[in-house]
Structure 1
């Protein structure tokens, strides 16, 4: 079976009960760190061009921006801006962890669009991040976030295994390598997040991707197929991936000090994210990021 088929089968059957608690906790810490970075980038206007473009695109009211009271925008536009906001604050924007700056904005945007439960969003983030971690190079030289983002989007859109495979295959057409350093921070991640949703929507509308697209990528990257899919569902590459180094308590205090938001709002945001597996509202999480960023 092609690698994309293996991941499609696994992702469509995955539930929160199949995911070990340590993996869920590690992912929760990464989500907290990513959202905190996005709030900080929004507060200081680090990627205002992305916000302006996203608002200009507009579209149907599907998803909101981190740290901005811009109202609901089309999900690909929101993912573009949120991907840049999260990516801009990373200390290692080219590292393997950059995949989360693509997968999370996709899951937040599509999760809001389809009104997914919190546990569904968490499962989509973990599935997409697991795919990215299994394909990523140790030096972060591969752009794999769009592949994980497409898998997360397809999972939240409840596509069947064939459409999931197509979504990931189509996303492979958006895989590109960096052509230099510098430029606007977070740009690559934001574009990848928007493209991941477009890939999933194309698959949902009947577009097909190459049946062995991931296999071709593995060959070009000199990855053994057996290594990429080994232990899928039993072993978790994303668990070993570098997690956040701050505790939730440190996040609370440092966010307040750095961003000027109220301690109550910061603690409420931490509580919402920590409870993600228990179906909190994504709307509440995004609304709290606006309050913290505004320093109210």
Structure 2
């Protein structure tokens, strides 16, 4: 889906501290706005990066959750913020891949943001309860035997989480009942309580669930198996050509001064080379990218080209 790999990080991170002293930025706290509720995968990545960026920038980098309206509330807030580098957005695929395609009256555009760095890409996991199907084939058999009765939870009907699951169902010729939640944490509570058959989430939620025995990862929406769970198949093994990845990326409001963008990019890039952060993200099935602003802008354009025909074919409703 995108040609950037871990090599985008380079052999070593840029040394940001001398540049900070010369630019005079930042002079106060920096806020990363997360357009999801606390506890989800976007929140996890943001807080991990904020902690390391605080050390690099020499000023606190804090995370502020502004969930709602399929990430529109948080994204619009940043798009309208003062373009000075102190208010940032940690976007996911939903915010700048799906919403610009399906929302008629979206109060922001991709052009309202200045890319800083594409942080990570990742597939979604489909998790079953411990008493549920033990394999993808068993899930297929159950779903075909009882069309429309198996339930799965996700964080919004037009989020990339649900779109990825719709792609899985389309490719496998299955029909299930979706249940929408405001965030991963709320969906997880119902799943653990036994009110959902399946849960569709990122690896930051899925891997701990399997490790704790609360559920079983049946498959990933990736083209290949994830090294973190080598025994878990990719759905592409049952539906060739299937791949649905999301991403996390850091952006500022458009017209943010270049010196602030450069400083923030260097800090984000350095954060992504942190050994503890890399270990955590690897464990959660995320691929670290650490792109340049220009590479991130190219990626956003490619995402539009990729998903627009896919969403049209799947008849995802326009909002």
For the aligned pair, the TM-score class normalised by the smaller chain equals under 0.3
TM-score between both structures, scaled by the size of structure 2: 0.25
TM-score by length of 1: 0.27
Q: Relative to total residues, which structure has the larger strand share, 1 or 2?
A: 2
Identify the structure with the greater helix proportion. 1
Largest Rg, 1 or 2: 2
